[in-house]
Amino acid sequence: MDKIYLDKMAFYGYHGLFPEENKLGQRFFVDVILELDLRKAGVSDQMEESINYGYVYQLTQEVVEGKSFKLIEAVAETIASRLLENFSQLKACRVKVNKPDAPIAGHIQAVAVEIYREQSK
């Protein structure tokens, strides 16, 4: 399956279990892999045969910078759902949400979740 990658999209959101996270917010990085057939887009050179990367960014931004979630698992699930709802040509997507400033006692580079969801027919 052909793939489109959007790597390390950076946002500021208010997700977490602790009140400070919901009040102060923190950085989040999101990677998205879109699976679809890109043959027609490659041959025709027409955007209508592909997926608009800017719109993918916008949908992701709306989720991460919108409503607060307790878990980054819920952030990832919501992003995947929105992508699959908005792009009928999308066969599947992989979403990774990275939380580099997770409030964990100790040294850690980041906490992340990654999910894979397919289009339901």
SS3 45: coil
Tell which residue, 16, 38, 36, 35, has the closest CA to residue 25.
16
Span 11-45, pLDDT tens digits: 999 999 999 989 999 999 999 999 999 999 999 99
Q: Which domains are present in the chain?
A: 2-118 (3.30.1130.10)
- The amino acid at residue 28 is F
**Structure confidence at residue 120 (pLDDT):** 86
Q: Is 79 helix (H, G, I), strand (E, B) or coil?
A: helix
pTM confidence score:
0.95
Which of the residues 8, 23, 99, 121 is marked catalytic? 99
Structural contact between residues 30 and 79, judged by C-beta atoms closer than 8 angstroms: yes
99 is catalytic: yes
| Angstrom distance (rounded) from CA 119 to CA 84 | 6
